[in-house]
Structure 1
Amino acid sequence: MRSRTSLHWQEGQVKRSGAERFLDADRYASYLKTIQGRLRTDLGWINLQSFLPAPAAGLRALDVGGGTGSLALRLAEIGFDVVLLDSSEPMLDVARREADAGRTHGSISFRLGDAAHLSDLFDPSSFHLVVCHNLLEFMEDPPAVLRGVADLLEKDLKSVVSLLVRNRWGEVLRAAVTEQDTNEAKAVLGGETVLDSLYGEPVRVFDPAVARSMVEQAGLEPLALRGVRVASDYRECPVATEEAYSRLIELELLLGALPQFAALARYSQIIARPRFG
């Protein structure tokens, strides 16, 4: 989970409180090294790669709510000049340490700030790529944030947005199958939030069709919808070897590209570009 703005439960909705609550950045970094954490990052990255402008050298990218920098560093490695924005200084500290330990062909800078105020932080049309993964579920006004993201894109065919959100239908299945909690499954089916398994905080869930509509209303043209983590959350046997992990990645990519399976994935990834005309 990313630390953007602290949340609390109020009348069944996700709300932002006035002061940011400290979340353990090292704990999140450790989660990203688990199979589930790696799958979310790796699948999202692989799905995005075929839509990235090339060559990346000299192009600017923004990772909104980039947390500990797992995706931002990959972008810098292939040549993007990356800005990583997050509202948590501890998260940014971890990202800085990771950047110092790695090699990049582009550059990476770090900025403390709230994704709800993107227009106050950056000029319009500043980036060729904006990554918005696992962010909107924590925000009070997701459509407004997405409009802000769209405004930051260069208005040309190279520009791309990648959005990753929690899929309501995947959360219903998780509750019913993995947790075997029928009450929770019914609550997610008709509610707007689910408790995050890492921190126990309420976060938003999105119908894939509603997420797509939100993208379009922000002035973006969807290019692809992918499911992320279709089958892996329901496996009883852990992945014990890198070879087994590679096979699981291959299966997940196949399933995530099929609409009937993408509709049931734990996360929905929408890749879009500015709409012209």
Structure 2
Amino acid sequence: MYDVSTRKRALALVTQGRSLNSVSKETGISRAAIRSWRTRLDPLPRMQAQAGPCIECQHAPERPEHKEAYSYLLGLYLGDGCVSAHPRTGHYLRIACGNTWPGLIDACETAMRMINPARCAYRKQAQGYVSVASYSQHWPCLFPQHGPGKKHERRIALEPWQQAIVDAHPWEFIRGLIHSDGCRITNWTTRLVGGERKRYEYPRYFFSNKSDDIRKLFSDALDRVGVEWTTLARGSDPFNISIARKASVALMDTHVGPKY
């Protein structure tokens, strides 16, 4: 939130005949924000929801009603989601879904509608992806992992009531994480068979995330359902979790499958 003096300085540059684009580049303030200050200079009061959980969500372990959908949506949120304050409706949850996977977009919107107490969600097309979003004052209560900055730059830990849901519905959680930051691919190698080198293909799942905490949540869920995994480093950074053993891939195919 920008103070009044910062707003006045930006508007003064516009008054001098500068374009919104040039003022935005110089100040680092978005054009939309500068444009809105022309009609309202004073900052809006902070929402009560930003101070902590709303009264209706004080007993968070009792929420949400549809726990399987929540476990899936939690996986999506930890991968490609964010919770942000909104000046009128409290907060909004947004999850970025690639255009390539229309089934994933449908599943994300369905889960979001089931978990939002208002049962509402919508889609907004962006360049290369669809943003599935929903407004509610309850999102900070339902996703207490939200906060300033990038997820991999702060600690991510589940609340006891969230962990209980993930423990009860691990496959939905795994599926949400794969749908956000994972994939199923076909690897290949060559083998000598009867003196002749032949190509050999095999399926494999990958999960990639910079957050050590989120990767640990993923691998703990894999351990819970009996899926064997290994860590593959990108340079010196262990960003990737690989699932390649035949039996484990078969389990993943049964409960998760490729994106669609």
Same fold (TM over 0.5): no
> What TM-score, normalized to structure 2?
0.29
Structure number with greater Rg is 2
> What TM-score, normalized to structure 1?
0.28
More relative contact order, 1 or 2 (CA 8 Å, 6+ apart): 1
